């Protein structure tokens, strides 16, 4: 068997003992609620810093479709550099990041403290920040010195080393494991949470195994024995999406949800106040959890209103995004209850935000379900979920439509054409 073929058969190449040890390490990180105190966490975050932090040079920690992110070791500061600054995506990212941070931080802090968003610090332009750039010429790489516009924000902490190594031990082909553990780029590891897909992780390549944006879908969570915990993540995503839609007025296009380290800028609280949100098997004790679910990337966001056009815009953004959110599936499907949990939490949070004006949120759910049914009929849903096509009959979502008719029988659906 050649290496390219071997790289796509990752799951068959491990001893049972190594695999079980790796799974235990990952589970412990995700489930533990009494990991480190704020002071200890700050020490961990500042590891590698010299006495003179100004001498620490920014290094690249991530590359996306429209920008590259740089971090200054020993600090919580990152700089995002747009590949095409004239297109305005970086400024759009900053504007929506700021609006969303200001609009949802209170909800995250007081309702779902395991859900986090990095703080946007400032937007840097050459003409107004020459003095600041001059002070940083030594520690900025040439590509940043030449950039005209930069976004400065809070760092999302990476996964700890033992968890990164455990992921490598579980999902990386044996012949790549040593290289993967020694690859400096793999220190910058965040886990994408894909609750709308059940295909497993297939990131292994013949020449390199990358931990950047590692993808964990429902199959991966099942392999780790964490299927129950996906309900907590689904509810957090529902809370965030409802806040973005009806509190901030954003369509949430292109936003991402990743598991990263604890949000050290947040004031720690007694976790007994939030036991209902913690996954099973968690313990409480007034310290920071190891893992937080982070919301990020707002460069594609656009504005919506509480009307038919706004709802349709939000529905399109839902389906154009990566499969973070649970998907509507037929009754009896293994993921049907996960979708129900997401849907009910979204409607509940939307009701709180709009003070009872439920029609736009219900129309959004109905629109998402209608698109899922359409994709089932055309076969695109089977391609996106890795499952065979199922009948359209029994697709969950009727409860929303019945509620719509009951609450607003004299109003046309926001997703129907007006006469």
How would you write the pLDDT of the chain (419 residues) with one tens digit per residue?
A: 343 333 333 443 455 666 788 888 888 888 765 344 444 444 444 444 433 444 467 889 998 878 899 998 888 889 998 887 767 899 999 999 999 999 988 777 665 668 899 999 999 876 445 555 555 555 566 666 666 788 999 999 999 999 999 999 999 989 899 999 999 999 999 999 999 999 876 555 667 888 988 999 999 999 888 888 899 999 999 999 999 999 999 999 999 999 998 876 653 333 333 444 444 434 333 444 578 999 999 999 999 999 999 999 999 999 999 999 999 998 899 999 999 999 999 999 999 999 988 999 999 999 999 999 998 888 754 455 555 444 433 444 444 432 333 333 333 334 444 43
Place of tokens 């900025």: 140
Give the pLDDT confidence of 224-279 residue by residue, as tens digits: 888 888 999 999 999 999 999 999 999 999 999 999 988 766 533 333 334 444 44
For strand 149-154 and strand 120-125, is the pairing parallel, antiparallel, or unpaired? Answer: antiparallel
Give the pLDDT confidence of 358-410 residue by residue, as tens digits: 999 999 999 999 999 998 888 754 455 555 444 433 444 444 432 333 333 33
Q: How far is CA 188 from the centre of its chain?
A: 15
Q: How far is CA 84 from the centre of its chain?
A: 24
Q: How far apart are CA 16 and CA 77, in angstroms?
A: 41
Q: How far is CA 405 from the centre of its chain?
A: 34
SS3 110: helix
Q: How far apart are CA 270 and CA 197, in angstroms?
A: 34
CB 29 within 8 A of CB 160: yes
CB 45 within 8 A of CB 76: yes
Cβ-proximal residues to 393 (8 Å cutoff; 6+ apart), any chain = 330
CB 212 within 8 A of CB 188: yes
Token pair listed for 138: 């030594």
Q: pTM for this structure? A: 0.78
**CA geometry: angle 246, 252, 258, nearest 5 deg:** 120
**CA geometry: angle 110, 111, 116, nearest 5 deg:** 80
């Amino acid at each position: 068997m050649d290496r390219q073929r071997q790289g796509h058969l990752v799951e068959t190449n491990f001893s049972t003992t190594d695999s079980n040890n790796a799974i235990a390490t990952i589970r412990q990180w995700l489930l533990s609620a009494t990991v480190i105190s704020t002071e200890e966490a700050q020490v961990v975050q500042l590891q590698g810093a010299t006495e003179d932090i100004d001498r620490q040079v920014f290094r690249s920690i991530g590359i996306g479709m429209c920008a590259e992110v740089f971090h200054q070791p020993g600090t919580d500061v990152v700089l995002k550099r747009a590949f095409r600054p004239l297109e305005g995506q970086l400024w759009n990212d900053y504007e929506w990041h700021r609006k969303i941070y200001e609009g949802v931080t209170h909800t995250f802090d007081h309702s779902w403290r395991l859900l986090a968003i990095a703080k946007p610090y400032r937007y840097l332009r050459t003409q107004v920040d020459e003095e600041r750039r001059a002070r940083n010429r030594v520690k900025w790489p040439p590509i940043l010195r030449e950039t005209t516009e930069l976004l400065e924000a809070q760092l999302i902490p990476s996964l700890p080393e033992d968890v990164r190594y455990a992921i490598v031990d579980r999902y990386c082909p044996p012949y790549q494991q040593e290289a993967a553990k020694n690859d400096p780029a793999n220190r910058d590891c965040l886990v994408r949470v894909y609750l709308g897909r059940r295909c497993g992780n297939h990131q292994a390549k013949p020449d390199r195994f990358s931990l950047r944006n590692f993808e964990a879908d429902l199959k991966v969570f099942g392999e780790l024995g964490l299927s129950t915990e996906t309900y907590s993540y689904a509810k957090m995503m529902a809370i965030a999406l409802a806040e973005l839609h009806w509190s901030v007025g954003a369509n949430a296009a292109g936003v991402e949800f990743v598991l990263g380290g604890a949000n050290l800028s947040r004031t720690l609280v007694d976790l007994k106040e939030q036991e209902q949100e913690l996954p099973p098997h968690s313990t409480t004790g007034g310290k920071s959890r190891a893992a937080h679910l982070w919301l990020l990337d707002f460069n594609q966001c656009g504005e919506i209103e509480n009307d038919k056009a706004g709802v349709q815009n939000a529905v399109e953004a839902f389906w154009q995004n990566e499969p973070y959110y649970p998907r509507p599936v037929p009754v009896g499907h293994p993921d049907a209850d996960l979708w129900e949990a997401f849907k009910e939490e979204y409607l509940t949070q939307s009701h709180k935000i709009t003070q009872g004006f439920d029609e736009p949120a219900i129309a959004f759910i109905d629109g998402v379900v209608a698109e899922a049914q359409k994709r089932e009929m055309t076969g695109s849903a089977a391609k996106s979920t890795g499952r065979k096509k199922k009948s359209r009959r029994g697709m969950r979502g009727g409860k929303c439509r019945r509620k719509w008719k009951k609450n607003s029988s004299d109003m046309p659906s926001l997703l129907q054409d007006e006469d």
